[in-house]
């Protein structure tokens, strides 16, 4: 970590990164929950964070519905 000049890193941060990347790629929360070994979906939601870009497909669904009508 010193050689890479990484500061404020905890091994536990890797679990957040793992969950976030899976959710942002479209893996459903139930699967992420099982992979992380969480008992409740609420705990998984604390680990998985969406970026604005990963939420864009939700808005695009609405756009396609509007265009079809």
Tell me what pLDDT residue 30 has.
Answer: 95
26 belongs to a structural domain: yes
Domain-located, residue 41: yes
The domain tally of the chain equals: 1
Whether residue 62 lies inside any domain: the answer is yes
What is the span of the domain harbouring residue 30?
13-68
pTM above 0.75, yes or no: no
pLDDT tens digits, one per residue of 5-40: 988 888 888 999 999 999 888 899 999 999 999 999
The answer to whether residue 3 sits within a structural domain is: no
pLDDT of residue 34: 97
| Domain-embedded: residue 25 | yes
Residue 51: name the closest of 34, 14, 15, 26 by CA: 26
Distance between CA 61 and CA 23 in Å, rounded?
17
């Amino acid at each position: 970590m010193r050689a890479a000049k990484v500061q404020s890193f905890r091994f536990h941060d890797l679990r957040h990164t793992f969950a976030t990347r899976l959710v942002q790629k479209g893996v459903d929360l139930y699967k992420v929950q099982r992979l992380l070994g969480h008992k409740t979906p609420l705990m998984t939601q604390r680990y998985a964070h969406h970026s604005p870009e990963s939420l864009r497909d939700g808005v695009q669904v609405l756009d396609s519905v509007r265009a079809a009508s």
